[in-house]
Structure 1
Amino acid sequence: MTTTYADSTATLDERIHRDPAAFRVLTGDRPTGALHLGHYFGTLHNRVRLQGLGMEVFVLVADYQVLTDRDVAERLTPIMEGLLLDYLAVGIDPERSVIFNHSAVPALNQLLLPFLSLVSVAELGRNPTVKDEIAHSRQAAVSGLMFTYPVHQAADILFCKGNLVPVGQDQVPHLEVTRTVARRFNERYGPLFPEPEALLSATPLLLGTDGTKMSKSRANSIALSADEDATARLIKGATTDAERHITYDPEGRPGVSGLVQLAALCLDRDPYDVAEEIGGGGAAALKRTVTDAVNSRMAPLRARRAEYARDMGYVRSVLRAGNERANTIADATLAEVREAMGGLL
């Protein structure tokens, strides 16, 4: 009988609740723009949940990886500070989680060199996620960083010996590269790294205001930093269709269904029930429902975000403290790698 990732995730959830302290989580974001509702429902609230279970959670601001599909890292400081505000506002607690950034942890990035020796060019070229990212790259030519992106992610995960990585289905191939790197290192140099497991998100893909995947790069997202008026304007301009009666039909009516799903997530309700309640009210009633649901759900988060924004000195100190903790761990791991490899590096 074939074991699916859904089966594995169900078993993994049981183990997590039985012994959460056995897991160390690595997750993070590229600072390429403001975090949005797709991030909130897809990853951020899950990080808070895992933190609350008693796991040590490492949250990476992947500033070096901005350059995978961009020539320069534009507006990096304000975007990074926005991410920090969002993290704190959603409930990531710096007393229980480590927030850090790539460029501040040299030993982490130095692990990329030995890890690259453990995978072949052909293996990197076959990675379906890399193929897709290359196809949608903004660059005229593919950089070496783009091609080796999964190995850099392996360094992100293994530097802290992370053994649990929350991912979407499209990121599973990247995690398989990390598992390969860990396994081959252990076979060649001795046991040092865990083979991390994928914790798949149960949240369905959230569509943006144009009926396609909500994305920072597609100008179709509702940022966590948006106020009530901006949120209302974005939802008012969202794509619907000519049919007045509202139904939840993701395949046939993606624009309408994306809005219904967003309201349902904010209200903790079933999307079919939300659509049935709106019924013949049409797009105007649907958009009012979504606007009210989003603004109500986001109100406490916005209040906390504004409070943190009044003390940016504290916000920056959170990153400094996280960087210190990450550096301590990365230096120790790199020393172990050097010893295992016979003094190389």
Structure 2
Amino acid sequence: MNDVVLTGDRPTGPLHLGHYFGSLANRVMLQDKFPMYVLIADYQVITDRDVPGEIRRHTTGLLLDYLAVGIDPAKATIFQHSAIPELNQLMLPFLSLVSVSELRRNPTVKDEIAHSSQSAVSGLMFTYPVHQAADILFCKGTLVPVGKDQLPHVEVTRLVARRFNERYGPVFPLPEAMMGEQPLLKGLDGGKMSKSRGNAIALSATEDETAALIRKAVTDSERLITFDEERRPGVSNLLTLAGLCLGRSPRELADEIGDGGAATLKRVTTEAVNEFLRPIRRRRAEYSEADVRQILAEGNARARERAVLTLDEAQTAMGF
């Protein structure tokens, strides 16, 4: 069977450099090799918040981020959760294949609960990994480009696929996770880089916004710049970020900066990031809102066609 790539994001805000090096760069490369589905997971926005917020604006922004980094709608099918009811129907039989204790132990769910804005944990939060299993398996996805924090969800998908096949017959492949160049890039405050934590450089950030964010990044008081992730995490994170944007070793950059201190380090990092983002900003400006609506409508139609076939196959296997 030929490989199929499934990947995506929740439309909760702009994508950032952590997304690019953790997953987006892989997607751009993979779209030339395999059929690829890119999910705008709008239904999953309500897993950890009481209201979806500006979901239409964020959906448009997310699609523009995809286009800006080089995802080609002629090669990849970009679609929304809410437009594919057959995909969500798969979640019901999948839920019968996992236990509550298995869902409760999922480390990614634990982390999301810890940072949730809800006063109480919803049932949808616990079923989040199973919803993602439906996302991956509706298109018979076999390759899933992810960051390190999403690996447990791919394991849940493999578990669901294996148990479905054992119970009802061979319908679903067992997908494999694909790690990006830098699976977990830390935020500018030293924590996990996240849209919701205000510590990330958005792909859509202007040059001035980028410079302001890097100026506020956590470093230390030592003047000599060295790469030491354990002892100097803030300094090392900026060196890593600059190195990724320049395609160079962070230790080599540290040697060049030498005793230039945090000010020089931040200047070098700012220049590297802005140079890296310039072509992305240019591509983003090429698309209109009408382009976005057309691309999404066409992607939704292709994804739903695939989902109808898979749901029919699964229901037939189950005896419905």
TM-score normalised by L of structure 2:
0.97
Q: Match for residue 31 of structure 1? A: 11
Residue 28 of structure 2 is aligned to residue 51 of structure 1? no
Residue from 330, 333, 342 that aligns with 2:307: 330
List runs of 5+ in structure 1 lacking aligned partners.
1-20
Cα offsets for 1:229-284 (capped at 9, x unmatched): 11111112222111111111111111111111111111100000001100111111
**CA distance in 2 between partners of 1:46 and 1:269 (Å):** 18
- State how 1:1-345 maps to structure 2 within 5 Å: 22-52=2-32, 54-308=33-287, 311-343=288-320
Distance 1:50 1:307 in 2: 23
Q: Any stretches of 5+ residues in structure 2 without a counterpart?
A: none
* Distance in 2 between residues matched to 1:209 and 1:168, nearest whole Å: 18
CA displacement at 1:205 relative to structure 2: 2.2
- SS of the residue corresponding to residue 295 of structure 2 reads helix
* Alpha-carbon separation, structure 2, partners of 1:226 and 1:129: 27
Q: CA RMSD in A?
A: 1.3
Displacement of 1:33: 1.1
CA distance in 1, matches of 2:207, 2:107: 39
Instruction: Give 1:62 deviation, angstroms.
Output: 0.6
Partner SS state of residue 22, structure 1: coil
Structure 1 residue 139, shift from structure 2 partner: 1.5
Deviations 1:210-229 (A, max 9, x none): 12221111111111111111
The corresponding residue for 1:9 is none
- Work out the CA distance in 2 between the residues paired with 1:342 and 1:192: 13
| Cα displacement (A) at 1:204 | 4.6
Identity between Structure 1 and Structure 2 (%): 67
In the aligned structure 2, how far is the partner of 1:202 from the partner of 1:298? Answer: 17
Structure 1 pair 185–68 and aligned structure 2 pair: CA distance change class (3 A): same
267-276 or 243-252: which moved more?
243-252
Instruction: Encode CA deviations 1:16-68: one digit per residue, 9 max, x unaligned.
Output: xxxxx92101111011111111111111111001112x211111111111111
1:105-139 Cα shifts (integer Å, max 9, x gaps): 00000111111111122222222222232233221
| Alpha-carbon distance in structure 1 between the residues aligned to 2:188 and 2:110 | 27
The alignment of Structure 1 onto Structure 2 pairs a total of residues equal to 320
* Distance of 2:277 and 2:70 partners within structure 1: 13
Structure 1 runs of 4+ aligned residues shifted over 4 Å read none
- For the 8 Å contact 2:147–2:184, the answer to whether it is kept is no
